[in-house]
Amino acid sequence: MPHLAYLSLGSNIGDREQNLRVAIERLQKIGHVHAVSSYYETEPVDVTDQAWFVNCAVALETPATPAELMTQLLEIEHAMGRKRVHKKGPRTIDIDILLFGDVVLDTPEVTIPHPAMHQRRFVLVPVAEIAPGLMHPVLKKTIESLRRELPEGQMVKKFKED
C-alpha cells in the first residue's frame, strides 16, 4: 500500500537549482511525485560558515517502507556525489524524510517525523506551501501553525533564477 512521504531537499555545492532538479527526476523513478514547492534560497543553520542553500519540499507517494525509502534516498545522494565529510557541512544534495504518512518511528536508520523539522524555517516554509494543513503526528499541529510559531531568524527567500 502506497504512503505519502514529505521530503526536504537542499543543495549548496555546484549548480544548486540543477541539483534539486536532478534529485526530483530521480525521485520520480522510485515513486510518484505529487507536489514540489518553489525553490527557496536559505541561510545555513548550525554550521554557518558555508554557502547558502537552495531548498524545496517534495510530496512523494511510495510503496517503500521508511527504511527502504531511506536506503533509496541515500543511493540518490551517493549517485549525485554527496560526500559525508563534515556533519551538516556543504553538500551537493541532501534529502531528508520529514513525514511518512502518520508514522512515528525512531530507529538507528531513520527517525520520523524528522526530529528538527519544527525548528527549521527552511523546512517549514516549503512544506507549508504544498501542504499547509498537514498535521505533525507528534506535535499535533499543522505545518502552517508550526511555521507561524517559529522565532525570527533563519533567512528564507524565494529563489530567483539568474
Q: Which of 91, 120, 121, 147 is catalytic?
A: 91
Mean pLDDT of the 10-34 span: 96
pLDDT tens readout for residues 130-162: 999 999 999 999 999 999 999 888 888 898 754
CA dihedral 100, 102, 106, 108 (to 10 degrees): -20
- Which grid coordinates belong to 131? 501542504
pLDDT tens readout for residues 41-78: 998 887 778 889 999 999 999 999 999 999 999 999 99
Domain range annotation of the chain: 3-158
Identify whether 94 is a catalytic site residue: yes
- Which grid coordinates belong to 111? 527517525
Q: Which of 82, 120, 121, 147 is catalytic?
A: 82
pLDDT tens readout for residues 86-140: 677 688 999 999 999 999 999 998 999 999 999 999 999 999 999 999 999 999 9
Identify whether 96 is a catalytic site residue: yes
Distance from C-alpha of 66 to C-alpha of 81, rounded to nearest angstrom = 23
What is the pTM (predicted TM-score) of this model?
0.93
Q: Which of 46, 49, 84, 96 is catalytic?
A: 96
CATH architecture of 3-158: 2-Layer Sandwich (3.30)
